[in-house]
Amino acid sequence: MNIYQELKARGFCYQQTDEEAIEKLLTTEQVKFYVGFDPTGNSLHVGHLLPVMAMRLMQKAGHIPIVLVGGATAQIGDPSGRISARPMMTLETIEENVRCLRNQLKRFIDDGDGKAHFVNNADWLCKIGYIEMLREVGSIFSVNRMLAQESVKSRLENGLSFLEFNYSILQGYDFYILNRDFGCKLEMGGQDQWGNMVAGTELVRRKSGNEVQCMTIPLLMNSNGQKFGKTSGGTNVWLDVNRTSVFDYYQFWRNSDDAQVEKLMLYFSPLPIDEIKRICDPAGNINRAKEILAYEATCLAHGEAAAREAFVTAGTRFGFADPEKKVATTSSILTVDTANVQAELPTAEIDGAVFDDPAGVTVAKLLVLAGLCKSNSDGRRLIQGGAVSIDDEKVADPVAAVTRDSFKAGSLTLRAGKKNFRRVILK
């Protein structure tokens, strides 16, 4: 199937300006297309990932993504999907958020050798004067049409500021600039952006005579009818490991509802469609399907090494769904040695010279050397809290020590809490 058919088969297509024209465009040209992200925070969360995954598929098919981080539009605030205005952020906060989001997006989008463009709309929107903007595009935008947009209509009852009302104009102007300067012919975004996106296609046509297209991606909901991307406790699942650990990120996917596993794997894994449908067959091993989903999603967000560690950590604690690897898959999860978990555990190598003293090294210091805490005092607090164990034996004494004899088996497993542990070996 061609790339447009694959996007449809995976569920990415919701609305298009001209389905036939878009399919022809994507199958006859190398297309530059764009997706915009406003830096309203310093991290993306899982709920932002659907258009990112569509971009990855498009790039894999040879098209060139333009990743726009809206340093200017974030100063205005998008009213789409909101019942009240966003809080105003300082310019310094927006600038830092732009930097963070660009770094996160580069984990998913290959920007080498002209394969992608990363842009900030502050580079043009913050340089144009108010009167100049009014004269250039003001006569093209119909107030009646803008009022009919769902993002505007839904806010009129509760109040919509003139500031937010301008957002559609700015987003449309982005498309015009990207078409003019980069030859961008397609915009992709969430279904709540439809009105803003269509406004952009109209502006490009009226200003330059060029025909451009837009395509929206459906909003993803969980089984409870809420926006996808939150834990059962209602908190966002972030890409920033300081806000959501890699283990918790993995477990979010691992705990997906059975009925949604196939849909999520079609969206959030690169595995072939026919393989996904086979793996997710309700008559098969649904828990193995969840492991593969969690592993692949974590690979994309945090890298294969982190995904392997999270998979082994979860499997060591809760058990592996397919220890004999009976479920055929092209996922690299098959290369993880679940029969010899010790070999797959996150490992810390420590200089054996620190054990030259017969008294050994305190467990608190060993926690620091293994990277499980930052200071000896942190280590003692973990021990006093009952969170530390060595080879599954809890350490109760805050001044307990480990000697070279503790490594008779060649290594030991040091735990600090349920999720953090290291296989410690001497070098």
Binding-site annotation, residues for L-tyrosine? 34, 167, 171
Residues 186 and 315: their CA atoms lie apart, in Å, by 43
- Asked if residues 344 and 338 have their Cβ atoms less than 8 Å apart, the reply is yes
- Asked if residues 191 and 11 have their Cβ atoms less than 8 Å apart, the reply is no
Alpha carbon 117 to its chain centroid, in Å, reads 19
- Asked if residues 213 and 186 have their Cβ atoms less than 8 Å apart, the reply is yes
* Residue positions forming the annotated binding site: 34, 167, 171, 230
* Residue positions forming the annotated binding site for ATP: 230
Q: Which residues contact 180 (CB under 8 A, 6 or more apart)?
A: 208
- Asked if residues 296 and 330 have their Cβ atoms less than 8 Å apart, the reply is no
Q: Which residues contact 357 (CB under 8 A, 6 or more apart)?
A: none
Cα torsion angle, 21, 26, 27, 28, sign: positive
Residues 122 and 211: their CA atoms lie apart, in Å, by 25
Cα distance between the two ends of the chain = 52
Task: Give the number of other CB atoms < 10 A from CB of residue 202.
Answer: 19
Q: Do you know the residue count of the chain?
A: 427
Sheet holding 117-120, edge to edge: 15-16, 213-217, 186-190, 32-37, 64-69, 117-120
Could you tell me which residues are beta bridge partners of residue 238?
Answer: 45
Residues 414 and 427: their CA atoms lie apart, in Å, by 17
> Quick one: tokens of 312?
């082994």
Q: Kindly calculate the radius of gyration of the chain based on its CA atoms and give it in whole angstroms.
A: 26
Alpha carbon 17 to its chain centroid, in Å, reads 27
